Amino acid sequence: MKICLIGASSSAIFYLYILSNFLKENVLNLKDLTIDIIVLEKNKVIGRKFLATGNGRCNIANKITTDFSYNNSETYDVYNEFDNQSIIDYFEKHGLKLDISKENYDSFVYPYSKSAKSTLNLLLSIINNNFSYINSTSKKFKINLTYSIEEKFLDYQEKGDLILIKTDKRTIEANKIIFANGGMSSPSLGSDGSIYGILKKHGIKVIEPHAGLSPIRVKNNFSEIENERLKIKAKLRLKEVKYEEVGEVIFKKNYVSGIVAFNIYSIIKRLSFVKNIKDISLTLDLIPTINKYEELLEYTKQLGSLFLFGIFSTNIAKYLSKFLKLDINKKYLQLNENEVKVIFENLKNFKIDYALEDDFKSSQVTIGGVSYSNLDLSSLNSKSNKNIYFIGEILDSDGLCGGYNLMFCFSSAMKVVKSISSDFLNHPSI
């Protein structure tokens, strides 16, 4: 049997990791079979995007899942079958020690090493060691793994039970093909979206891709506070939809960055893309720890019109003073109660005039992709050909920042390993 993985992506690595553990744990029950696995990767580096996860620290999971964590019910169906706690338990059971970061969000889960590079190296070592153990232990079951780097996938052809895979170097005959080559986000890391055109040619429905988890381009001019950081509460409003998130944002001249901004960008994009809605309001609560105007009034009694300098950095205080039309040259200019009420409302609901763009270069995940209408959701294989599978970001699945996308890569890879387990076992037991 020959299996071809298209792309040495995070989901492909997880597939090999899960498969190698499964085969090792069931080594005494394996069929008389030789499996050749070929991983086609057009880049020079295996797991290039994996290395960038969590800013190089590998945010591998999240302890909390909400209604906004993923984009559609099908994604939750895949994820829920092997959810965050199952993933965390699986990693720890198989030797990867995890830690929960206390630096930003308590729910973010990282490897104890806080290193995507060392985590990737460990996963690849486990894969190789497990396959070596299987080959040395089992008398008739053999498994061979080949990484074919700098080889570009061009197309495929169905030929009976076989799939002919055409690359820029050769034609490969395979029994199964697993598409794990991502979407269009972060093209510098290898995802250019060229796969979509190939799949469409074969009748695979693709939901139009859009950039997700990206800085928010704004019409506001933030040049005076460029590179300033501020802990805020972002508030998204759309009739029945309400989303809020507290965290740090980074102001740039023409955009707002940071984890909160990335998440807000994706949610707005999901809503405007799926529902074609334009009237989504976005405001920032610049004083999330001050909940009543009376609290703010106390600040103004002490410092008058200079009160902003007691709350914000100098640059942000100056910017907001202009925005609120406060005369900071008249020290201790007292503000009356009505003035403070107006200031309070403006600081709690600072409006962001956003202009969404599909900037795939700065995005971290693709919104859209291979539609689940093509697939058997129980196995993630094509309804038209049971030997063609899809895992990871190539699917119409996207998560927020915080480990959700890596968790989906893991869950989808687990589902495919489960779906083909009977091919390897005399008595399927997974």
Residue 85 Cα to chain centre, angstroms: 18
**CATH class name, domain 2-210+366-423:** alpha beta
Q: Looking at residues 335-354, what average pLDDT do you find?
A: 93
Q: Looking at residues 395-400, what average pLDDT do you find?
A: 97
Is the pLDDT at 151 greater than 60, yes or no? yes
Least confident interval from 198-202, 241-245, 317-321, 381-385: 241-245
Contact (CB, 8 A) for 69 and 405? no
Is the pLDDT at 163 greater than 80, yes or no? yes
Percent of the chain with pLDDT over 90: 76
The pLDDT assigned to 69 comes to: 96
**Structure tokens belonging to residue 220:** 């506001």
Nearest to 96 by CA among 71, 125, 137: 125
Is the pLDDT at 241 greater than 80, yes or no? no
pLDDT tens digits for range 121-143 = 999 999 999 999 999 999 899 99
pLDDT band at 242 (very low <50, low <70, confident <90, very high): confident
Q: Which residues of 73-111 are buried (b: 16+ CB within 10 A; e: fewer)?
A: ebbbebbeebebebbbebbeebebebeebeeebeebbbb
Per-residue DSSP letter, 29:
G
pLDDT band at 430 (very low <50, low <70, confident <90, very high): very low
**Cα 53 from Cα 119, distance rounded (Å):** 11
The pLDDT assigned to 352 comes to: 92
Q: Where are the domains of the chain?
A: 2-210+366-423, 216-287, 293-350
**Cα 193 from Cα 208, distance rounded (Å):** 11
Q: Which residues contact 67 (CB under 8 A, 6 or more apart)?
A: none
CA–CA distances in Å: residue 412 to residues 10, 52, 57, 65, 416? 11, 20, 22, 17, 7
In which element (H, E) is residue 414 found?
A: helix 404-419
**Interstrand relation of 61-62 and 176-179 (parallel, antiparallel or unpaired):** unpaired
Domain 293-350 has CATH 1.10.3470: no
Is the pLDDT at 94 greater than 50, yes or no? yes
Per-residue DSSP letter, 46:
T
**Cα 344 from Cα 308, distance rounded (Å):** 11
CA–CA distances in Å: residue 100 to residues 80, 103, 253, 400? 21, 9, 33, 18
Q: Which residues pair with 14 in a beta bridge?
A: none
Expressed in angstroms, the distance from the first to the final Cα of the chain is 20
pLDDT tens digits for range 190-216 = 778 889 999 999 999 999 999 999 999
Contact (CB, 8 A) for 183 and 192? no
Per-residue DSSP letter, 225:
G
Write the DSSP assignment of 93-125 as a string of letters: HTT--EEE--SS-TTEEEETT--HHHHHHHHHH
Higher pLDDT among residues 241 and 370, named by residue: 370
Is the pLDDT at 274 greater than 80, yes or no? no
pTM score of the predicted model = 0.93
**Cα 140 from Cα 132, distance rounded (Å):** 14
Q: Which residues contact 46 (CB under 8 A, 6 or more apart)?
A: 8, 13, 39, 120, 124, 147, 149
CA–CA distances in Å: residue 262 to residues 217, 297, 347, 403? 11, 33, 22, 13
Q: Which residues contact 374 (CB under 8 A, 6 or more apart)?
A: 204, 205, 382, 383, 384
Q: What average pLDDT does the structure give for the chain?
A: 92
Nearest to 82 by CA among 419, 428, 422, 425: 419
pLDDT band at 93 (very low <50, low <70, confident <90, very high): very high
The pLDDT assigned to 396 comes to: 96
**Cα 339 from Cα 344, distance rounded (Å):** 9
**Interstrand relation of 2-6 and 34-41 (parallel, antiparallel or unpaired):** parallel
**Interstrand relation of 142-149 and 34-41 (parallel, antiparallel or unpaired):** parallel
**Cα 413 from Cα 22, distance rounded (Å):** 12
Angle at 196 between CA 41 and CA 82, to 5 degrees: 70
**Structure tokens belonging to residue 411:** 């869950």
**Structure tokens belonging to residue 54:** 């969590």
